[in-house]
Structure 1
Amino acid sequence: MRIAIFSDTYTPEVNGVARTLKRYTDYLEKVGIEYKLFVPESRTPNPTVPQVERFTSIPFALYPECRIALPNPLSINETLKTFRPTLIHVLTPFNLGIYGAHYGKKNNIPMVASYHTNFDDYLTYYHLQFMKKWIWKYMTWFHRPFEKVYVPSPSTKAKLLSKRMHPNIDIWGRGVDAIQFSPEKKSDKIRMKYQIQEKNIVLYVGRLSPEKDIDIVFDTFHSLPKELKKSTHLVIVGDGPLYQTLSTDHCKQITFTGFLEREELAEMYASTDVFLFPSPTETFGNVVLEAQASGLPVIGANAGGVQHLLQDNQNGFLCKPKSVNDFVTKTTTLLTNDQLRQDIGKKARAFALEQSWNRIFDRLIASFEDILEVKTRKSA
């Protein structure tokens, strides 16, 4: 098997798709499957890797962390002619993905796609609802030629089937490094570095943007009972279009860290008390699984991919999307009940230990092999 992969985001960019893709390519190298990866150039300088070909790019308007590449067809053709892929895998439906699909169709190479982002849900937050109809038309047109489309969660699969985007949709879940993210990473260094004096620490990790319902995090914090709020500190980890505004508007008892590298991020998860994640637009929710692996109780929105990671009042709490009252109630419950917080943290960790990246990628490759076998039989 030789896989040509096309994506509009990759490490060192910091987002769920880029991180998943890095895990994916690391796995392919470990098991000895050859691949070529076509991605945009990064804003951050990175070492040249033989398997990776980068192209000039511009930021994507709705999601600047993703970049729209300007492919060089001659260069891609030359690389693929030498590489002779047996499978095309497209992770994003933009310029590079379009070119990958075109090449696969032209050369009769089996193709699969991944669906990672609910861009249609984002439109509401940017007052572009009128574009939803056209987004779905485009997504349906784009994905039709693929043998199969992979999605991260059952709710995403149900959504795409209801839109009749593609008849063959399968789940490609996500895993977590339970050694990297672990309760053992708990450290006093977090409190010392950020000068946190309060007893409790509430954490949010993710993009600072409207579609994450980040306002619910702040409203929840400010609505905590008076005495509880006095003893609670809010930590916001991440960057995004709202960073400048939020970090200026909110100061007292709130710390903005920006992006954190993996080791400090792991320490942050393990050294805080409650993880708030109100985003209703997730196809999965990688940060939720990282928090769970760290033994950190999660309070999330009962929507999208997050609802499949949290069993309410067992390994976390689920709240009605956008309900500040619900988030305040659950946050108060956890911060005022040490035993409950510990119990839920342990169950969250136990759940995360079952989400092995190797097992998930083994299933994905087995699915690829089935597709290639069927294609070979049809061609015989």
Structure 2
Amino acid sequence: MHVMFIPSWYDNNRNKVHGSFFREQATKLQESGVKVTVAYNEIWPLTLMGKVKEKSGLSFNLEKGLRTYRYKNYNFIPKHPLMFNIFDKRMEKLYKEVVKKEGKVDVIHAQSSLWGGISAAYVAKKYNIPLVITEHSSVKRGQYVRESYYKRIVNSYKSADAIIAVGNGLKKEIEELTNRKDIKVIGNLVDLSLFDIRDIKKESDEFIFFSVAFLEGEKGFDTLIKAFSKKFKNEKVRLVIGGDGSQREWLEGIAKSEGIENQVTFTGALSREEVSSWMNKCDVFVLPSRYETFGVVYIEALASGKPVIGTFNGGAEDIVSKDVGILVEIDNIKDLSEAMEYMRKNNKKYEPDKLRKYCTEKFSANVIIKKIINVYKEVIK
């Protein structure tokens, strides 16, 4: 089986970790015996005009074991629906090059409609190839989605032979957009080799709550800081917030105004290895996002043997059961603070080995890849 794997965003020379979970999925598919060829339309914004030192057009490289074709060029008509016509033609050139060099494509698998899935639908229809779209992002809440894009996004969903949503909240949204009732829910896989139970000695006997995300958008860190302040001011408890972004200065200001700046640590951007280390050093993981399509960090915490506090945000409900953590209502400072206090007193009730077992049985690579391959087999019939 030969799968043309189309990520909507992917690593590049300016961002080495962009779309890392797409690469992980493609790698695990390849390891399972599927022939995978990555085809990526690498779109450069006009703001980089004159700054990019790479050659535009088609290129091929073996990237971390994956045969990878890229079409690199600028988006010359940004934010206009006509740009999709240009992207379609670039994707068609990628497809023809893949077929020429790698042979017949049996399935096209696009990761998210915007941007890759839209052009994948164009190629799949023109060349009569089964199409699978896995959606990771909300159309209604997407940062880059304009109303003028809706038609192409919805058409890509309707033309797909199978749609996978990474969470039930996202499934419901796509059902409302398309009236399709055959959408499957398959979560993201997690590289559990990086996140596991390790005995890392803490530098002090402080109780540590750990949270990590880009300090942007709707991650709820303002609510988290206020909830922490409500119960733990001047106690031997620390809140560690990993990640960086435009909200950092504002969040640091909240910690200062709450009088807990000495108990809140902002680490800045963390590598995957550093996130893993903090998962092991902390006592409890907490992320009170206002919206998640999935929430891979909850899984990484459970794989590390740590109980989780989250919110009813659309993604966490598929991951966090009462056996492994606590969910509270979004932006409810009182309930969040009480959940944190409960965890401080009762975190030992959650056995690390049982948390990891729960995680591996639901989200390990073997489990997720088998489900995806079954979808491929269904659309090829």
Instruction: Give the TM-score band, short-chain normalised.
Output: 0.7 to 0.9
Structure 2 contact 227–334 (Cα < 8 Å) conserved: yes
Deviation for aligned residue 1:213:
2.0
How far, CA to CA, are the matches of 1:220 and 1:14 in structure 2? 35
Measure the CA separation in 2 of the matches of 1:198 and 1:184: 17
2:224 matched to 1:217? yes
The 8 Å contact of residues 4 and 37 in structure 1, kept in 2 or not, is answered as yes
CA distance in 2, matches of 1:75, 1:369: 26
Give 2:365's aligned residue: 357
Residue identity matched to 1:360: I
Paired residue secondary structure (1:109) = coil
* Counterpart contact for 1:183–1:294, Cα < 8 Å: yes
State percent identity of aligned pairs: 23
Equivalenced residues, count: 344
How many angstroms does 1:249 deviate by?
6.1
SS at match of 2:231: coil
**Alpha-carbon distance, 1:273 to partner:** 1.4
1:43-192 mapped onto 2 (5 Å cutoff): 49=63, 51-54=67-70, 55-56=72-73, 72=90, 75-82=93-100, 83=102, 84-121=104-141, 137-164=151-178, 166-188=180-202, 191=203
Q: 1:98 to 1:162 in 2, by over 3 A?
A: closer
Does the CA contact (< 8 Å) of 1:310 and 1:317 recur in 2? yes
What does 1:214-293 align with in structure 2 at a 5 Å threshold? 214-227=221-234, 230-247=235-252, 250=255, 251-293=261-303
Per the alignment, residue 6 of structure 1 pairs with: 6
1:378 alignment counterpart: none
Q: Per the alignment, do residues 2 and 241 of structure 1 end up closer, same or farther by CA in structure 2, a change over 3 Å counting?
A: farther
**TM-score normalised to the size of structure 1?**
0.79
The equivalent of 2:211 in structure 1 is 204
What do you get for the CA RMSD once the two structures are aligned?
3.2
The letter of the residue matching 1:96 is G
C-alpha distance after superposition, 1:96-124 (max 9, x if no partner) = 3322221111111111101101242356x
Q: For residue 49 of structure 2, what is the aligned residue in structure 1?
A: none
Q: Hey, what's the Cα distance between the residues in 2 that align with 1:245 and 1:277?
A: 18
* 169-178 vs 83-92, which moves further: 169-178
Ranges in structure 2 where 5+ consecutive residues have no aligned partner: 45-51, 55-60, 80-85, 256-260
Q: Quickly say closer, same or farther: Cα 1:328–1:280, change in 2 above 3 A.
A: same
Q: Higher mean Cα deviation, 273-282 or 318-327?
A: 273-282
Match of 1:343 in 2: 349
The answer on whether the counterparts of 1:198 and 1:233 sit within 8 Å (CA) in structure 2 is no
TM-score, reference length from structure 2: 0.79
Contact 1:234 1:254 in 2 (8 A): yes
Map residues 357-376 of structure 1 onto 2, 5 A cutoff. Answer: 357-373=365-381
Q: Say if 1:299 and 1:74 are closer, same or farther in 2 by CA, change over 3 A.
A: closer
Indicate the larger mover: 284-293 or 80-89: 80-89
Structure 2 Cα separation of the partners of residues 73 and 282 of structure 1: 29
User: Which moved further from structure 2: 296-305 or 138-147?
Assistant: 138-147
Contact 1:209 1:242 in 2 (8 A): yes
